[in-house]
């Protein structure tokens, strides 16, 4: 578990991070409809809207019978999944609908539920309680098999245009198909580099290994096209000018990431699901100069990898390597170059000599990730690099060291990139 000083609490969240969001940005986050209009205007994908209903007359006049399959009714300013009903199909009689919990609804049931939304029964804030009727997203089959009911989603915490933590939220029977932990859904932490789930918790914060009632493991789930989800999350946060946010996305097979909503004060249970402190991660990226969303994604994936995920995806077991190895490094033009390297478990992040990085074309300004302090060298650039040790290809971030210009080995491989390897003795 993370150290207490690394954990973000409610007061710290509100005072140090939520307060960084402009009032105008928080207003977008508090309205699902405003969010959709904003993101749609920026060409950021969202679910299609069939209607916005503001009065009882709007509800009565809406053509409900035209909705045959896959639609959702939700309050525009609700939270924690309250008031949301997702429907699978219209029944053959043309007068009733079946929701995702297999409950049958008549037209009167739908109308009365909408009246309750307009009366503010499910709303958390605001005085204007409107209704959105939108399409229901069909989940990617890779993820759908872990859902007992309803539609799962992905929560990504974005700070300073860097994705710093993520959680896959899986609805259950207890949550009545809602992907909300407070309602009983499951939260699975996600490794930021690979998109592979690591640990999981119940809505009450208790650790859980298997999907309830099954033998399906909750770790090792691979979210498809992972980088696209991180990129969309950062783009959504930037569109709303949110410095600190939780971005929720649907995982669609045919349409990829779709933004569900923006949260200006996201919950903190994501730390339990990842067994990692959010405060520490936020502080690490607070002062970085992020050039664009792509740059932010590269930083997040470089900084916040987990050894646990590496163990999941390394099925071949531990590979034995020597302290001194010749490894493959790829140039900016994707050329393979063999160089001598020292496997140095005394350092965390790997390092590459300045001269080698220059020869490989890795020092262009747009390739620099950030700067970090190195002993006896001051502030040194960090670059994105691809290396190959034995048969394993690793995308990583390396410190550029002028000290290594004077050594026989031109790279030092730190323990961050040695997960899954057993360091032997020199031959």
Q: Are 246 and 160 in a shared domain? A: yes
Q: Are 103 and 160 in a shared domain? A: no
Residue-wise pLDDT tens digits, 79-121: 667 788 989 999 999 999 999 888 999 999 999 999 999 988 8
Number of domains composing the chain: 3
Confidence (pLDDT) at 310:
54
Instruction: Specify if 43 maps to a domain.
Output: no
Instruction: Specify if 112 maps to a domain.
Output: yes
Q: Are 167 and 116 in a shared domain? A: no
On average, the pLDDT of the chain sits at 88
Q: How confident is the model at residue 26 (pLDDT cuts 50, 70, 90)?
A: confident
Confidence (pLDDT) at 401:
94
Residue-wise pLDDT tens digits, 206-235: 999 999 888 899 999 999 999 999 999 999
Distance CA 229, CA 259 (A): 9
Q: How confident is the model at residue 182 (pLDDT cuts 50, 70, 90)?
A: confident
Residue 2 scores a pLDDT above 80: no
Q: How confident is the model at residue 66 (pLDDT cuts 50, 70, 90)?
A: very high
Residue-wise pLDDT tens digits, 271-287: 999 999 999 999 999 98
Instruction: Specify if 101 maps to a domain.
Output: yes
Q: Are 266 and 150 in a shared domain? A: yes
Q: Are 277 and 325 in a shared domain? A: no
Single out the residue in 268, 303, 338 at which a domain terminates: 303
Which position has the higher pLDDT, 176 or 193? 193
Instruction: Specify if 34 maps to a domain.
Output: no
Residue range 125-144: mean pLDDT, rounded? 84
Residue 423 scores a pLDDT above 80: no
Residue-wise pLDDT tens digits, 238-267: 999 999 999 999 999 889 999 988 999 999
Q: Are 18 and 145 in a shared domain? A: yes
Residue-wise pLDDT tens digits, 306-330: 765 555 544 445 577 888 999 999 9
Q: Are 124 and 90 in a shared domain? A: yes
Q: Are 259 and 344 in a shared domain? A: no
Q: Are 126 and 146 in a shared domain? A: no
Single out the residue in 303, 329, 361 at which a domain terminates: 303
Residue 377 scores a pLDDT above 90: no
Confidence (pLDDT) at 27:
77
Residue 358 scores a pLDDT above 90: yes
Confidence (pLDDT) at 426:
47
Instruction: Specify if 308 maps to a domain.
Output: no
Single out the residue in 303, 331, 363 at which a domain terminates: 303
**Percent share of the chain, pLDDT over 70:** 94
Q: How confident is the model at residue 7 (pLDDT cuts 50, 70, 90)?
A: very high
Q: Are 358 and 402 in a shared domain? A: yes
Confidence (pLDDT) at 307:
64
Residue range 31-45: mean pLDDT, rounded? 87
Domain residues for 166?
A: 4-29+139-303
Q: Are 381 and 290 in a shared domain? A: no
Instruction: Specify if 329 maps to a domain.
Output: yes
Q: Where residue 171 sits, what CATH number does that domain have?
A: 3.30.470.20
Residue range 129-133: mean pLDDT, rounded? 89
Residue 352 scores a pLDDT above 50: yes
Q: Are 10 and 157 in a shared domain? A: yes
Instruction: Specify if 387 maps to a domain.
Output: yes
Confidence (pLDDT) at 427:
40
Instruction: Specify if 220 maps to a domain.
Output: yes
Confidence (pLDDT) at 37:
86
Residue 374 scores a pLDDT above 70: yes
């Amino acid at each position: 578990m993370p150290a207490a000083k690394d954990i973000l609490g409610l007061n710290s969240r509100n005072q140090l991070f939520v307060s960084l969001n402009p009032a105008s940005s928080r207003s977008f986050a508090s309205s699902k409809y405003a969010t959709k209009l904003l993101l749609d205007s920026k060409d950021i994908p969202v679910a299609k809207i069939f209607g916005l209903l503001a009065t009882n007359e709007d509800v009565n006049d809406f053509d409900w019978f035209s909705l045959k399959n896959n639609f959702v009714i939700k309050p525009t300013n609700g939270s924690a999944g309250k008031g949301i009903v997702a429907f699978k199909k219209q029944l053959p009689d043309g007068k009733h609908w079946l929701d995702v919990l297999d409950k049958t609804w008549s037209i009167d049931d739908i109308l009365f539920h909408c009246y309750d939304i307009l009366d503010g029964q499910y709303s958390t804030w605001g005085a204007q309680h409107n209704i959105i009727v939108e399409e229901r997203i069909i989940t990617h089959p890779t993820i759908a098999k872990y859902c007992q009911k309803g539609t799962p989603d992905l929560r990504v915490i974005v700070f300073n245009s860097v994705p710093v933590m993520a959680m896959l939220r899986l609805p259950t029977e207890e949550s009545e198909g809602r992907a909300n932990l407070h309602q009983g859904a499951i939260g699975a932490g996600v490794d930021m580099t690979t998109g592979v789930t690591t640990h999981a918790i119940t809505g009450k914060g208790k650790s859980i290994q298997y999907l309830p009632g099954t033998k399906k493991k909750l770790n090792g789930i691979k979210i498809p096209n992972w980088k696209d989800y991180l990129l969309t999350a950062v783009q959504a946060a930037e569109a709303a000018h949110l410095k600190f946010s939780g971005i929720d996305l649907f995982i669609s097979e045919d349409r990829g990431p779709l933004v569900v909503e923006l949260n200006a004060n996201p919950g903190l249970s994501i730390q339990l699901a990842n067994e990692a402190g959010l405060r520490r991660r936020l502080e690490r990226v607070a002062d970085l100069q992020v050039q664009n969303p792509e740059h932010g994604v590269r930083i997040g994936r470089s900084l916040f990898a987990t050894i646990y995920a590496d163990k999941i995806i390394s099925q071949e077991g531990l590979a034995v390597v020597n302290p001194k190895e010749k490894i493959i490094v790829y140039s900016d033009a994707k050329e393979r170059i063999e160089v001598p390297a020292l496997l140095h478990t005394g350092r965390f992040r790997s390092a590459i000599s300045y001269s080698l990085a220059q020869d490989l074309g890795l020092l262009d300004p747009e390739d620099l990730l950030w700067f970090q302090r190195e002993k006896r060298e001051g502030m040194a650039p960090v670059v994105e690099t691809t290396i190959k040790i034995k048969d394993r290809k690793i995308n990583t971030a390396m410190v550029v060291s002028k000290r290594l210009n004077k050594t026989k080995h031109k790279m030092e491989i730190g323990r961050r990139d040695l997960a899954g390897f057993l360091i032997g003795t020199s031959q």
